[in-house]
Structure 1
Amino acid sequence: MIIGLIAGTSGDSLTIELKKAGYKVALITGKAGEPGESEADFCLTCDLSQHQVIIDYFLELKVDKVIFGTGHYKAINLLPELQRNKITTNLEEKTFNLVKDKIKFKSLIDKAGVLTPRYFTFNTKDEVLGNIENIPFPCVVKSSTDLIQPAKVYSPNRLLELTQVLESRGSGILVEEFINGSDCTVAVSNDGNAISDYGVIYYCKAKEYNLEGFEGANANFLPQLLEEKICTLSKELVSLVGIKGLVRVDYIVQANQIFVLEINAIMVTGYNGSAYPFFEEKNIDIAKIMVDTSLVLIGEH
């Protein structure tokens, strides 16, 4: 059987794990040379906005099940087209979009009483300018839908520059209080039957991606009781949102206070440029967990 795969930088690990499980892989890549291209049985390279080209390719190969290993907006825009062509995927569009939209997610957990950094939401640069006196600096600027990477900014001028970029790209603007603490993350799987966590991982995205303004960001080890509390909270959040698949819940901890930053709706599991090595150090094959969970969701396990 051929499984379709759209995975971005996770294409290598997910292709290999799918083949280990006995499947052939039809990989879609957005550009030549992406991870997984040399391992896949079939590969189509095209702009991910070419929906009909991708659908025709899957139909030609008789692919009726597709796994997403990336949350890139161009990939996710394919979901309705796949559904219209009766192609099953590992994603539920409604819950994915709830988590992917940082503003909607923050609002949900805020109402549920979950601790998260104080935040402001805007649609335009002018709205930001009108509230500039209420915003504490430094602060963290985020696109509501990940169109740009988060940035820590120290001045109103830089804040307004970035909000202008976000407004021009049609993104909601999230301005978040900066918490000077220690980063960590928890992977959580939900296959519709069970919700499982894989322990606290001391992965700091700001450090690994060299994000603007986050010099000195760190991930320090926490006491075991605090780790257990974070793992329990992670599973509760996944249950609250109702999202299925393998997700990554990001935190910052300050003086034993646990602040939820976000849920990454699809955990990146590529061999390079992800948290994969951090899980590998704990003998956890996070790519295999991603594949196993996804196979259940598409009805293969």
Structure 2
Amino acid sequence: MSKIKLGLIYGGVSTEHEVSISSYESIIKNIHKDKYDITSFYISKDGTWFTDGKRTKEVFNSLKEMDCVFPILHGKNGEDGNIAGMLEIIGVAYVGCKTLSSAICMDKVITKKLLEKANISVAKYMFIKKLNENFYWVQDNYDYVLLDKEILDLSVNTLLNYPVVVKPSRSGSSVGVSVANDYLELENAINEASIYDEKILIEEFIDGKELEVAVLGNNDLTVSNIGNIIPDEIVYSYNSKYKGNSKTVVLNTIEEKLESKIKNIVLTTYKVLDCSGLARVDLFLIGNEILVNELNTMPGFTSISMYPKLMESINISYTDLIDRLISLSMNDKNRDFS
């Protein structure tokens, strides 16, 4: 039986470049090499493509030769639908959510608005945009209100109350995320977030358990056990995820009715956002109240990443997980790659 020609794309023009490299290295280490003829496509931080270590200008032709492509890219210019759209145009099967779903899930504000329409609870929030060096509060009717200190401080106090969490709307791995306890910290947090995106989300701070649930599949969906994040900081930041002493444990003692409720919300979220292949849904648990935080359409695949660990908790090994994702992509009847 001939091997499947598999392309692995990694790196990328993204703040999560290094995370992508770690994910790629873990996949290379664990994949069934007797099943796949692997071609590696590396994207440098400046956007230069390399095929098996050699700089290439014929990347489209090389990608077209693949039976399937696994884009192991996190964050902007990869997980946001750009690569998915390119692969759709080329006409090659690929692992992960489709273009629109990827773009929606990358934008935390749009994600929240869609979930609210589906009656899925989210943390209270407001969002602002940076235009021509000015910041504007974008209201529910999409009127733009020019922000000054008084308006910003009053709106946050009225709608959310301090402390608040400030995030770039379209970034991942908690890059640019800060907690603000007062106006001065809020101003600094907004300036930090605006380095990564002109669209900035301000949320109420949730003092509850942070949960993660992994989903696998297109139509017949597999849901993992529930993971609980134990961060070593007040917020689960980039340093906390990858450089600190944060832990994630699988909850084995959760009450059955609550577990069922959480998993039903996770499945509904996956369907509302039109996901396919895989995703990780992040939630907050406050007592018995469940809030969806965000959804990650290409979660980390590093040796410490929660998505593969959650799947391992339901007896899907890392190697088997890779096989299943590739199979899901190649057998997706809803995509025409001919």
- Common fold by TM > 0.5: yes
Deviation at 1:139, TM superposition (A): 0.8
| Alignment size in residue pairs | 283
2:154 is the counterpart of 1:133: yes
Q: 2:184 aligns with which of 153, 157, 175?
A: 157
TM-score, reference length from structure 2? 0.72
User: Where does residue 253 of structure 1 map in the other structure?
Assistant: 285
Please tell me whether the aligned partners of residues 246 and 290 of structure 1 are also in contact (alpha carbons under 8 angstroms): no
Please tell me whether the aligned partners of residues 170 and 197 of structure 2 are also in contact (alpha carbons under 8 angstroms): no
Please tell me whether the aligned partners of residues 19 and 25 of structure 1 are also in contact (alpha carbons under 8 angstroms): no
Deviation at 1:222, TM superposition (A): 3.6
SS at match of 1:75: coil
Q: How does 1:32-181 map to 2 (within 5 A)?
A: 43-44=52-53, 52=57, 54-59=59-64, 62-76=65-79, 77-90=82-95, 91-124=97-130, 126-127=135-136, 129=149, 130-135=151-156, 136-146=161-171, 148-181=175-208
**Higher fraction of helix:** 1
User: Where does residue 263 of structure 2 map in the other structure?
Assistant: 231
Q: 2:240 aligns with which of 202, 210, 220?
A: 210
CA distance in 1, matches of 2:184, 2:116: 29
Deviation at 1:229, TM superposition (A): 1.3
Report the residue type matching 1:4 in the other structure: G
Q: Which residues of structure 1 form unaligned runs of 5+?
A: 33-41
CA distance in 2, matches of 1:53, 1:166: 36
2:28 is the counterpart of 1:15: yes
**Higher fraction of strand:** 2
Please tell me whether the aligned partners of residues 137 and 155 of structure 1 are also in contact (alpha carbons under 8 angstroms): yes
SS at match of 1:189: strand
TM-score, reference length from structure 1? 0.79
CA pair 175-225 structure 1, distance change in 2 beyond 3 A: same
SS at match of 1:78: helix
Deviation at 1:294, TM superposition (A): 3.5
Q: How does 1:166-205 map to 2 (within 5 A)?
A: 166-191=193-218, 193-204=219-230
SS at match of 2:166: strand
SS at match of 1:197: strand
Q: Which residues of structure 2 form unaligned runs of 5+?
A: 11-19, 46-50, 137-146, 334-338
Please tell me whether the aligned partners of residues 208 and 286 of structure 2 are also in contact (alpha carbons under 8 angstroms): yes
SS at match of 1:269: coil
Report the residue type matching 1:237 in the other structure: T
Deviation at 1:282, TM superposition (A): 5.9
Please tell me whether the aligned partners of residues 96 and 265 of structure 1 are also in contact (alpha carbons under 8 angstroms): yes
Deviation at 1:26, TM superposition (A): 1.4
CA distance in 1, matches of 2:304, 2:8: 18
User: Where does residue 36 of structure 1 map in the other structure?
Assistant: none
Deviation at 1:180, TM superposition (A): 0.3
CA distance in 1, matches of 2:102, 2:264: 21
SS at match of 1:123: strand
CA pair 126-149 structure 1, distance change in 2 beyond 3 A: closer
Deviation at 1:230, TM superposition (A): 0.7
Deviation at 1:190, TM superposition (A): 2.2
Percent of aligned positions with the same letter in both sequences? Answer: 18
CA distance in 2, matches of 1:282, 1:288: 12
Please tell me whether the aligned partners of residues 190 and 196 of structure 1 are also in contact (alpha carbons under 8 angstroms): yes
CA RMSD of aligned residues (A): 3.3
Deviation at 1:100, TM superposition (A): 1.3
User: Where does residue 35 of structure 1 map in the other structure?
Assistant: none
SS at match of 1:28: strand
